[in-house]
Structure 1
Amino acid sequence: MSNLPLDGTPLAASPLTRAVLEIDDYASGLGWDQPARLFALVDTAQLQADEPELAERLGLSGPDADPDAGRPSAGLTPVEQDELPDGLPLDEFLGTIAWPDAVTGCALTVERLMLPPTAEGSVPTDLDEEALAAWVARHPERQEVRMTVAVLRDGEREAALRLREKDAATEVLTGSDLVPGLAEALTATFTG
């Protein structure tokens, strides 16, 4: 028996995991070689109550709402933000973000090259960031990965990893500690 509902998104227990998988599925539909994307996470029921017109435009309520969409009223709705600025390092950009109180959490999806743990011993230590990135890009064991990381104001976190070579919803790895550095950077956007 498959763990996939009709829309292909894996079933998940927590609202945060469902939101991460929904964002991963959305990013997957856009294909690879995409820029980083930032999302506000808002409480679905609160959005429906406070912003009924926006909820209707998002397909969460009203005559065009899909009753089989599978989004529980106790869930989280990802709202994509404006495109991230070109040329500004991601960590610097995240340091400029401040969220309004209505935002319950946030998520980021970003593509990176990754090396397996077996390659760690061969990483040169005398390279600057640009030269290191070029070295990784040439490494025969490199893997392209899409990371989707989400955090809530209360500190809860979740991540999804999708390898380009295993680009299927059934091959997405999830866990709360998969990308701790990025989760910490996203959490910091709520403390400033």
Structure 2
Amino acid sequence: MPENGVKHPAQGGEYVGILSFLDSGNSIIESTSFYHRVRPQKLRTFVVSSAVNDYGVENMYTIELQVDSTYPRASADTSTYTRMLVEFPTLDSLGNRLFLDDLGGYTKSGELVGCYMYPYTSPYIDSPGNDLRCRLVKSEVAGEPAQVEILNFRAFSGSQYRMKVRMVRIYNPATSVVSVPISIRIDHVVDASN
């Protein structure tokens, strides 16, 4: 359904829009491009649990999710792929520190994060020898979340089992927190340059 005169794509993701002003002869007077983020459909299931509830200690987080949509595999060597990022907030709405920018157990963006996919979710594993991996996307800007990108999964849809992934060496916030809004971002990427 159009919103403010714009019909959004059915698939969530980031899109480039171009706005041009034309004269009566259809010549461009002025033009600009912009990025527009379309939120994906809600997940059927999204559960985050942790093994330890103490402040500031190394922990293991379990992420379970099930979608209603269909997503392509997580491979950037094709023109259409999926990026899945688990987001750990570094600051709360009052500016108090939550998770560390590097999640505490890692040092730099791109570093592999210890993760494991449960065997019953093997339909998600891309291919033998191309096992599930996770990597850190360190928070580089104050207030931006630290992220763990899940890599090497195959195309999936809501008809499959829940995806269940454990992530380790993530340190809990150092102070008491009532709730921590850990979230997941699933982007459908279409790259016209490939």
Q: TM-score, normalised by structure 1?
A: 0.28
Structure with the bigger RCO (C-alpha within 8 Å, sep 6+) is 2
Q: TM-score, normalised by structure 2?
A: 0.28
Query: If each structure's strand is expressed as a fraction of its own residues, which one has the higher value?
Result: 2
